Amino acid sequence: MQKIDIRWLWHKYKRAIISSAMCLLAVVLVAVISATSLNSSNVSKQEEVQTSSPTSITFVSPVKDGTLIKDYSNKTLKYNATLKQWEAHKAVDIKGPDGASVVAVADGEVLSVESNYLTGTVITIKHNDKLQTVYASLGEKVDVKMGDKVKSGQKIGVISTTAKNESSDGPHLHFEVLLDGVKVDPNLYLENSNK
C-alpha cells in the first residue's frame, strides 16, 4: 500500500518535484557564485590597498624626456647584462640624452651624497618622515651637498655610467623610492606612469 502511494505520488507530482529541485539547485548555485565573486573582489581590493601609494605625493620625472630602460621588479627577476645574472631590480632605470639633468622629484632635504664602486655617485633625498628617494649612477660632479634643501624639479646632477653594476646599460639614472626604509615601486609615485 505504502509503495503504491509513493509511486502514485511520484507519478502525480513528478513535474512539481523536479522543478522544485531545479529551483533549489539554482538558488544554491547563485549563492555559491555570489559568495565567490564577493571573495575575489575583496582580494582585489586588498591588492589595491597594498599597491596604491600611501602618501599623496606625486613625483615629477627625475629625468626630463627620459626613457624607462629597466622597470621595477620585486619578485620577477631582471637580467643584469653587466653582472651577467638575473636579479630583482627594486628601482627604475631611466635613460636620457647624453649628460641629461637629473632633478629632485619632490621638495626635500639632501640626506647624503655618497660614492661607491657598485652604485656610483648616489644622492639620497628625504621628502618626509616616511619617504626618501635615491638617485644612483650620477656623474661625479653633483649640484647639491648634504643638508641642502631642494625644490621639486631642481637639478641635482646628471646621468652617467658611474654605477659599475649597471655600466653596460649606458648612461642612465638608477632611481629608488624608500618607504619606511623599504624599496617600493617608484611607478606608484611617478606622474604619467602607465601603472
Binding site for Zn ion (CB under 5 A): 91, 93, 166, 174
Residue nearest to Zn ion (CB): 174
Q: Amino acid identity, residue 131?
A: L
187 contacts 72 by C-beta, under 8 angstroms: yes
CA quadruple 90, 96, 98, 100: dihedral sign: negative
Q: Which C-beta is closer to Zn ion: that of 40 or that of 168?
A: 168
Q: Which C-beta is closer to Zn ion: that of 91 or that of 103?
A: 91
Minimum distance, C-beta of residue 48 to Zn ion, in the bound complex (Å): 27
Identify the three-state secondary structure at position 43.
helix
DSSP 59: B
Q: Which C-beta is closer to Zn ion: that of 16 or that of 182?
A: 182
Q: Which C-beta is closer to Zn ion: that of 126 or that of 164?
A: 164
Q: Amino acid identity, residue 36?
A: T
Minimum distance, C-beta of residue 167 to Zn ion, in the bound complex (Å): 11
Q: Which C-beta is closer to Zn ion: that of 91 or that of 150?
A: 91
Minimum distance, C-beta of residue 149 to Zn ion, in the bound complex (Å): 27
Instruction: Report the relative pairing of strands 92-95 and 149-150 from DSSP bridges.
Output: unpaired
Minimum distance, C-beta of residue 43 to Zn ion, in the bound complex (Å): 31
Minimum distance, C-beta of residue 93 to Zn ion, in the bound complex (Å): 4
Minimum distance, C-beta of residue 173 to Zn ion, in the bound complex (Å): 8
Beta bridge partners of 184: 177
C-alpha dist (Å) from residue 78 to 83, 109, 130: 11, 31, 27
Q: Which of 191, 194, 193 is nearest to 58 (CA)?
A: 191
Identify the three-state secondary structure at position 33.
helix
28 contacts 165 by C-beta, under 8 angstroms: no
Q: Which C-beta is closer to Zn ion: that of 93 or that of 143?
A: 93
